[in-house]
């Protein structure tokens, strides 16, 4: 499972990265592609675990760290989770602690090269300590949430948390408290 649906075509004049939902000031924060390109960059060595196929260890990613986004667009104090949104309505939910892990970043480059279209150009989320479906390609925004809610794959049978070291692959493996619950 690499991605669902077609590879979106990047339209620079229409592209925006938005942070919305429960922001501290109640406003939506937006960056166009030029603005996003000027944000401070970081490089991390991270692993990459696909749920069904492979793991790649020690991939070099660079881009904008999630903590930079949180500083520039602070969340309200009640925020516990984020939904990361991509083209075509793809999404993935993360606990705020997983999102701000010091290795989590909005990657623009892999191995020193810009991402290719298939791998998420211009921006994808990378959360090295979780399964790769927790890292949307073609990211367009972040929603701050005051309660958990399942994203695209999490609604379709994948585990809500997705820790590869605990082999949290499927939602039927979830323990009480690991999912949004009803």
| Nearest of 80, 74, 135, 133 to residue 103 by alpha carbon | 135
Strand partners, 109: 62, 114
With contacts defined by CB under 6 A, name the span among 26-34, 36-44, 131-139, 165-173 that binds ligand MTE. Answer: 131-139
Q: Using the minimum distance from each CB to ligand MTE, give the nearer residue, 27 or 170.
A: 170
Answer with the entry of Mo ion, ligand MTE, none that 106 interacts with (C-beta below 5 to 8 A by kind): none
Answer with the entry of Mo ion, ligand MTE, none that 95 interacts with (C-beta below 5 to 8 A by kind): none
Tokens of 91: 């999404």
With contacts defined by CB under 5 A, name the span among 51-59, 66-74, 86-94, 103-111 that binds Mo ion. Answer: 51-59
Among 4, 24, 97, 167, binds ligand MTE (CB under 6 A): 4
Among 33, 95, 103, 119, binds ligand MTE (CB under 6 A): 119
1 binds Mo ion (CB under 5 A): yes
Among 7, 30, 39, 50, binds Mo ion (CB under 5 A): 50
What are the DSSP E strand ranges found in 6-132? 16-21, 29-32, 42-49, 55-65, 81-86, 91-95, 105-110, 113-114, 124-126
What are the DSSP E strand ranges found in the chain? 16-21, 29-32, 42-49, 55-65, 81-86, 91-95, 105-110, 113-114, 124-126, 139-145
Q: Which residues bind ligand MTE (CB under 6 A)?
A: 1-4, 50, 86, 90, 118-119, 132-133, 135-138
């Amino acid at each position: 499972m690499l991605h669902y649906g077609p590879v979106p075509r990047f339209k620079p004049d229409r592209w925006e990265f938005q942070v919305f939902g429960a922001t501290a000031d109640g406003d939506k924060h937006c960056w166009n592609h030029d603005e996003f390109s000027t944000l401070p960059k970081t490089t991390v060595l991270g692993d990459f675990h696909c749920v069904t196929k492979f793991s790649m260890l020690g991939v070099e990613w660079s881009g904008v760290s999630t903590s930079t986004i949180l500083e520039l667009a602070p969340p309200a104090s009640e925020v516990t989770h984020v939904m990361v949104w991509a083209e075509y309505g793809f999404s993935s939910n993360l606990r705020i602690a997983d999102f701000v892990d010091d290795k989590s970043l909005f990657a623009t480059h892999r191995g020193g090269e810009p991402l290719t279209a298939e791998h998420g150009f211009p921006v994808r989320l990378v959360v090295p300590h979780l399964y790769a479906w927790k890292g949307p390609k073609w990211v367009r925004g972040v929603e701050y949430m005051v309660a958990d809610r399942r994203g695209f794959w999490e609604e379709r049978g994948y585990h809500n948390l997705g820790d590869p070291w605990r082999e949290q692959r499927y939602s039927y493996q979830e323990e009480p408290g690991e999912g949004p619950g009803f």
